[in-house]
Amino acid sequence: MGRLLIISILATLTVSHSPVKAEAPPPGVDSRNIRSKQWHLDYLSAQQAHNLSQGEGVTVAVLDTGVFPHPDLRDNLLAGTSVLPGDRNDGQQDRDGHGTGMGGLIAAHGRSSGTGALGVAPKARLLPVRFKLDGSLGTATGLSQAIEYAIRQRAQVISISSAGAADLGLQQAIQSAARADVVVVAAAGNKPADQNVGFPAVYPNVVAVGGIGRDGRRTRISVSGPEIDVVAPAVEIYSTNFDGEYRAGTGTSGAAAIVAGAAALIRAKYPYLPADEVAHRLTATAIDKGPPGRDDQYGYGVIDLVAALTADVPPRGFESVPATPGGGGPTTAEADGPRADGDRAATVRGVVTLGVLLAAGGTWALLVRRRRRSDDPPPRVSR
């Protein structure tokens, strides 16, 4: 037991968090042409998705190095905080650029006439929480405090572009986020610094994100493992930088930020959908890659923004049954699945769920549903 305690203390004191590999964009990249460099937007059909949702009313907490008020995202930037000892600021200082880049991928709004960088959820709000000074090192204690702060500020999505070691306090913070109905998205980790999926991506109730390249194939830098849920673009991803300019990066950090933006789109489209159902929409509508079904390289597949917003996805743990002969009514799946006007259906499910919880006298902590793994696949969506 003493050995386990020592290991836990060491993990708390210093946890290595593998960053996105940042590269300076080639000369000539500016606000006028940065959008053409953001290949992931076309790959994910972001423009079509933005006709359905832009993340309005959703707050995404970016747990990183801070988010600089870059002209392309400052209208969406909230006052946040720093949990670093002796560092008293509102989270809008960033001397590294990693956090500003992740914030831009999530919710950059760009500039007039289609210039400037654009995020996956360009109308979402960004809550910057600074828990590390640069893109490589942080502490599990700091990350746990950042998660708890985001929960108190009522963030609906938490984006964590870090991968580190196991820690009891971090695990408890993730459990608190689940109880608070927050979607938590985390990077799986980057080779060679990481060989397995890191924490907190390993934990239940966290969407673990791997990376792909322009060809749609898993990039070599992305780790693999049974915890991978989905993958997203991760190679030469252009975004905002801390100096008001732009940066390109490669790694699962960027992929996680993109998926966090996707979660914001879903939460804006279906505001009464619980966090685990939002994660379920991401996995159930993902485009299958690699071996048929879930695998350790791609998880359930590449996120599909449009399908995640439009597909009729049965609730988790639900199996569709045909209508009774002569009944002429819809199946239960048709009646209960979220649609364009999914607020009403989701509200009914929420009221029923609340009634069951109150009647049972159980605690939410015991009833939080864990995200699906390889032994509990979601229903596939025909497209």
pLDDT single digits (tens) 298-327: 999 999 999 999 999 999 865 434 433 443
The model's confidence at residue 135, banded by pLDDT at 50, 70 and 90, is low
Q: 214 with 43: CB under 8 angstroms?
A: yes
Per the listing, tokens 């080639």 go with: 26
C-alpha 298/C-alpha 305 separation (Å) is 16
C-alpha 269/C-alpha 52 separation (Å) is 7
Among 111, 80, 106, which residue's Cα sits nearest to residue 93? 80
| Percent over 90 (pLDDT), the chain | 68
The model's confidence at residue 137, banded by pLDDT at 50, 70 and 90, is low
The model's confidence at residue 136, banded by pLDDT at 50, 70 and 90, is low
pLDDT single digits (tens) 208-256: 999 999 999 999 999 999 999 999 999 999 999 999 999 999 999 999 9
The model's confidence at residue 191, banded by pLDDT at 50, 70 and 90, is confident
The gap between the terminal CA atoms of the chain, to the nearest Å, is: 52
Q: Is residue 2 predicted with pLDDT exceeding 50? A: no
pLDDT single digits (tens) 54-70: 999 999 999 999 999 99
C-alpha 310/C-alpha 60 separation (Å) is 22
Q: Is 300 left (phi over 0), alpha (psi -120 to 50) or beta?
A: alpha
Task: Note if the pTM is more than 0.95.
Answer: no
- Asked about 222 being catalytic, the answer comes back as no
Among 184, 167, 210, 189, which residue's Cα sits nearest to residue 298? 210
C-alpha 63/C-alpha 44 separation (Å) is 24
| Percent over 70 (pLDDT), the chain | 74
Mean pLDDT in the chain? 82
133-142, 148-157, 248-257: lowest mean pLDDT where?
Answer: 133-142
Q: Is residue 344 predicted with pLDDT exceeding 90? A: no
Q: Is residue 372 predicted with pLDDT exceeding 50? A: no
- In a 13 Å sphere around the CA of 173, the CA atoms on its Cβ side amount to 24
pLDDT at 37: 96
pLDDT at 105: 99
Amino acid letter, residue 287: I
Region 23-37 average pLDDT: 80
Question: What secondary structure letter does DSSP report for 218?
Answer: B
Region 353-358 average pLDDT: 38
Q: Is residue 8 predicted with pLDDT exceeding 50? A: no
pLDDT at 19: 47
Region 160-188 average pLDDT: 97
C-alpha 328/C-alpha 320 separation (Å) is 16
Q: 229 with 118: CB under 8 angstroms?
A: no
Q: Sign of the C-alpha dihedral, residues 25, 31, 36, 42?
A: positive
Q: Is residue 49 predicted with pLDDT exceeding 90? A: yes
pLDDT at 382: 37
Region 282-303 average pLDDT: 97
Q: Is residue 364 predicted with pLDDT exceeding 50? A: no
pLDDT at 22: 52
Question: Which residue of the set 18, 40, 64, 144 is catalytic?
Answer: 64
Question: Which residue of the set 253, 280, 295, 304 is catalytic?
Answer: 253
Q: CA-CA-CA-CA torsion for 360, 362, 368, 372, nearest 10 degrees?
A: -50
Superfamily of domain 19-310: Peptidase S8/S53 domain (3.40.50.200)
* CA angle centred on 289, ends 370 and 269, rounded to 5°: 55
For 324-368, the DSSP string reads PTTT-PPPHHHHHS--TTHHHHHHHHHHHHHHHHHHHT--HHHHP
Percent helix / strand / coil, the chain, rounded to 5: 35, 15, 50
Integer angstrom CA distances of residue 21 from 82, 118, 192, 252: 23, 20, 12, 9
Question: Which residue of the set 98, 109, 161, 194 is catalytic?
Answer: 98
Region 7-22 average pLDDT: 41
C-alpha 203/C-alpha 208 separation (Å) is 9
Token pair of 110, please? 């760009």
- Asked about 253 being catalytic, the answer comes back as yes
- Asked about 70 being catalytic, the answer comes back as no
Task: Kindly give, in sequence order, each residue whose CB lies less than 8 Å from that of residue 376, ignoring residues fewer than 6 positions away.
Answer: none
Per the listing, tokens 């989905």 go with: 230
The model's confidence at residue 193, banded by pLDDT at 50, 70 and 90, is confident
Q: Is residue 126 predicted with pLDDT exceeding 60? A: yes
- In a 13 Å sphere around the CA of 154, the CA atoms on its Cβ side amount to 2
pLDDT at 88: 87
| Alpha helices (H) along the chain | 2-13, 34-37, 39-43, 46-50, 98-107, 140-152, 168-179, 252-269, 275-284, 305-310, 332-336, 342-360, 364-367
